[in-house]
Amino acid sequence: MPTFEWHVEWGDILGALGALILLGGAACVFVKWINPIAKKANRISEFILGRPKDELGPAIPSLSERFIETNEKISALDVANTARLDEQNEQIAEIKAQVTPNHGSSAHDKITSRIDTVESKVDAVLAHLGLGPIA
């Protein structure tokens, strides 16, 4: 049987050692700089495209699903706000009808007539006492 001898020289050892150092450096560069960028890119894609529920966490809706959900909430708020504004407009109309003269049926007209009645009674009392009317 032929014999086989290993011939290893210093250049081979240094070349292999340099290759290991280079691979280790590349792994460090990947972990240090590229991995955080990849994680951010993954989070951005999950933000836009969404993610189904899995063992890693809850489901994340896609950007379009969130837009639709937001529009539905805004529409519900708009309906509620419109109803509230309609109710306020009715109340304001009722108050306006009471504080605006309208030929006898408003609170303004009733108060004005009572003030006129009191004023005439005060004038009558002052005339009875011999004093002139209040200017």
Where in the chain are the domains?
Answer: 12-60, 62-99, 101-135
Whether 102 and 112 have beta carbons less than 8 Å apart is answered as no
| Closest to 67 in 3D by CA, of 48, 54, 86, 82 | 48
Q: How far apart are CA 61 and CA 52, in angstroms?
A: 8
**pLDDT > 70? residue 90:** yes
d(CA 123, CA 130): 10
Structure confidence at residue 94 (pLDDT): 86
CB 62 within 8 A of CB 52: no
> Which has the higher per-residue pLDDT, 100 or 46?
46
Q: Is the pLDDT of residue 100 over 80?
A: no
Average pLDDT along the chain:
85
pTM for the whole structure? 0.44
